[in-house]
Structure 1
Amino acid sequence: MNRYSLAAIWAAISTILDQGTKLLILEKFPMWSSKTIIPGFFNLVHVHNKGTAWGVLDRDDISWQVPMFIAITLIALGFIIYMLKKTDERDKWMVTGLGLIGGGAIGNLIDRIRLGEVVDFLDFYIGTYHWPAFNVADSALTIGAGAILISMYLNRDNATPAA
């Protein structure tokens, strides 16, 4: 399978899983609701975020964050395509990582275009400390970044020094 097909498959899987789970949350969970799944560790919640990771810029008093994040996402998707063109066909870790990051970016982009904010619903916590709620797209972005780090580690001896 060529790198474009592999990346597209990972992007499609992550986007479909992300949007499917968000649709379920939107249909089944009232806003701000919470359901304990694993007591003391994991809840399903329904929150929205106009900002970026961990709620940065999640404010109602600024109107430019949604257009800015849409523009940044489109630029990032262009960069992902560029990186995919430059990636060796055999580097499955890099290709998978780029596909997952692309899929995660597309999943959150769909929310921003459709809703003006991102739906988050995964709430992990220990005691009273809650990690900020996130979604499948955020997970795909994180796993994709991890795959790219693995690729960089595995290919560290093949790197060309900067001029």
Structure 2
Amino acid sequence: MNEAQLKAGQGAGALRWLWLSVVIVAADQVTKWLVTQNLALYERIELLPVLGLTHLHNTGAAFSFLADAGGWQRWFFIAIAVLVTVLVCFWLSRMPARGQGWLAAALALVVGGAVGNVIDRVAHGYVIDFISVHWERSFFPAFNVADSAITVGAAILIIDSFYESRRKQKVI
């Protein structure tokens, strides 16, 4: 790699998108701190007829999967998140610096969300959830900013893969 390529940002590939991961981690940790400082565990504040804040602790994964597994799942989920983060950062480093913005942004959202939840698992042994969506007495599992980033990132990855496959079909 020559000096001109490094100056153009091509040496790091799409790693420049990790600024988005940093924003997600910061927003996630600040909102979790605000919740823990202002709401007791299980305390609830209704914001809208379908949206509230509820301070909860989740020792499991999405939808409290393996929450009652006895403690080993903490390290399992940390290991998975760290592995995914490393692999995605490697993927970003190999991508071109320009031309695949949606894919890079999606991957950066996933990294930010994974790191945000890993921080909780390492520091507390659980993830702090607080966004509560419901319809009357039916509640969707609570989530947080990190979970939202992972979900949005995954959705963008799926959408981008459809567009990518259509682009490849047009070339063939």
Tell me the TM-score normalized by structure 2: 0.86
C-alpha distance in 2 between matches for 1:153 and 1:63: 39
Larger Rg computed on CA atoms = 2
C-alpha distance in 2 between matches for 1:149 and 1:56: 23
SS at match of 1:31: coil
C-alpha distance in 2 between matches for 1:157 and 1:52: 34
Offset from partner CA, 1:10-53 (integer Å, 9 cap, x none): 101111100000000010000010000002x0110000000000
SS at match of 2:129: strand
SS at match of 1:155: helix
Aligned residues: CA RMSD: 1.6
SS at match of 2:130: strand
Offset from partner CA, 1:107-157 (integer Å, 9 cap, x none): 000000000000000000001110000000000001111221232122213
Aligned to 2:4: none
Say yes or no: does 1:4 pair with 2:15. Answer: yes
Is there any run of 5+ residues in structure 1 with no aligned partner, and where? none
Instruction: Return the offset for 1:9.
Output: 1.2
Aligned sequence identity (%): 31
**One-letter code aligned to 1:38:** L
Indicate if the aligned counterparts of 2:132 and 2:143 stay in contact, CA closer than 8 A. yes
C-alpha distance in 2 between matches for 1:145 and 1:57: 21
Residue from 33, 42, 57 that aligns with 2:43: 33
Is there any run of 5+ residues in structure 2 with no aligned partner, and where? 1-7
Offset from partner CA, 1:68-126 (integer Å, 9 cap, x none): 11111111111111221333431100000010000000000000000000000000000
SS at match of 2:133: strand
Aligned to 1:73: 81
Task: Name the stretch that deviates more: 139-148 or 45-54.
Answer: 139-148
SS at match of 1:105: helix
C-alpha distance in 1 between matches for 2:159 and 2:100: 10
C-alpha distance in 2 between matches for 1:19 and 1:100: 15
C-alpha distance in 2 between matches for 1:116 and 1:34: 22
Aligned to 1:120: 129
Say yes or no: does 1:86 pair with 2:91. Answer: no
Aligned to 2:23: 13
Indicate if the aligned counterparts of 2:15 and 2:89 stay in contact, CA closer than 8 A. no
SS at match of 2:47: strand
| Paired positions, count | 157
